[in-house]
């Protein structure tokens, strides 16, 4: 994901997080707020370290992909909402999502130190 990419491109890519491995795979759908979160994290990190930015975004995307096969791996926080911690360096990123029918609906993505 490039820094100059448009939001529409990210939304299109985000909605494409569907594994073709098997009939049990769920489709991962990023809500608009989660896409904006991802863009915000990428923009903040790229100013600090372009290399770290690429690694962090790739790790988050890999974790999103893993939810197609293992959506239950996150822990429950409230009202059917789950969180998945994505370790990165000394801290972690957090993917907040819910499972609805055949979808994993990603609501937010943020750094673990953020007050969310």
- Contact status, residue 11 vs residue 32, Cβ threshold 8 Å: yes
List the pLDDT tens digit at each of the 116 positions of the chain. 444 444 444 454 444 454 445 557 899 999 999 999 999 999 999 999 999 999 999 999 999 999 999 999 999 999 999 999 999 989 999 999 999 999 999 999 999 888 76
How far CA 23 is from CA of 18, 62, 64, 72, 93, in Å, comes to: 11, 20, 18, 16, 29
Q: What are the boundaries of each domain within the chain?
A: 7-111
CATH 3.30.2310.20 fits 7-111, yes or no: yes
Q: What is the DSSP string of 57-93?
A: HHHHHHHHHHTTT-GGGSEEEETTEEEEEEEETTEEE
């Amino acid at each position: 994901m490039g820094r100059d990419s448009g939001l529409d491109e990210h939304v299109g890519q985000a909605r494409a997080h569907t594994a073709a491995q098997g009939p049990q795979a769920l489709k991962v759908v990023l809500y608009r707020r989660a896409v904006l979160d991802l863009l915000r994290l990428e923009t903040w990190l790229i100013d600090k370290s372009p290399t770290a930015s690429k690694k962090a975004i790739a790790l988050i995307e890999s974790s999103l992909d893993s939810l197609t096969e293992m959506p239950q791996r996150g822990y429950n926080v409230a009202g059917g909402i789950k969180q998945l911690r994505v370790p990165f360096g000394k801290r972690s990123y957090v993917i907040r999502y819910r499972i609805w029918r055949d979808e994993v609906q990603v609501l937010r993505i943020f750094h673990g130190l953020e007050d969310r």
